[in-house]
Structure 1
């Protein structure tokens, strides 16, 4: 769940979908299912996601795609576990550390 996005105020739905390696339709579907995702829309209807929306998407992605929760199960977990954002952030950081360590191991093996 290593999401690489540049520091910006708003992200297009295409950028978000590409960062999460999912279709834009899934992002739109999650937007309808979860109240915590509320992108801004321009007059044309284009969605623009804030960094807070991205954080919420990371949590939903973690629950649904990595942990295998159903959407209803993910909603329950989001309501009951208040420390979940910190947990997801720590897991994300640990994954980055793991990647770096594996790169170093490859260099040392060569």
Structure 2
């Protein structure tokens, strides 16, 4: 089952420590993902990173693709490209994979109950 993440507070900038707690990731993972995903672009001032809400939403989406749906980094990159509307077939395949994963989780839960 996907991890329940805390709501993102309504503020403009988040430090890497705040962002890592809100996304349930270690700071070094977030720094690594910045190198792997061009879309993650925190504001850098005085050698510090400041994330905005849209950065956190994107990081949470990537986290879900990698951890909950089991995609590789390359697969998540492709999915994000398809998410921009450039590849309807990719989106359809991702929707099917997500549905299968959710159904498998439901089945596991039902087996645990009985």
- Structure 1 unaligned spans of 5+: 85-110
Could you tell me which residue of structure 2 aligns to residue 93 of structure 1?
Answer: none
2:7 counterpart of 1:4: yes
Q: How far 1:52 moved relative to its partner?
A: 1.1
Paired with 1:58 and 1:29, the residues of 2 have a C-alpha distance of: 14
Paired with 1:54 and 1:3, the residues of 2 have a C-alpha distance of: 12
**Deviant stretches of 4+, over 6 Å:** none
Could you tell me which residue of structure 1 aligns to residue 72 of structure 2?
Answer: 70
Paired with 2:19 and 2:67, the residues of 1 have a C-alpha distance of: 15
Paired with 1:37 and 1:64, the residues of 2 have a C-alpha distance of: 15
User: Tell me, what secondary structure is at the counterpart of 1:81?
Assistant: helix
Aligned length: 83
Quick one: which of 28, 31, 35 aligns to 2:38? 35
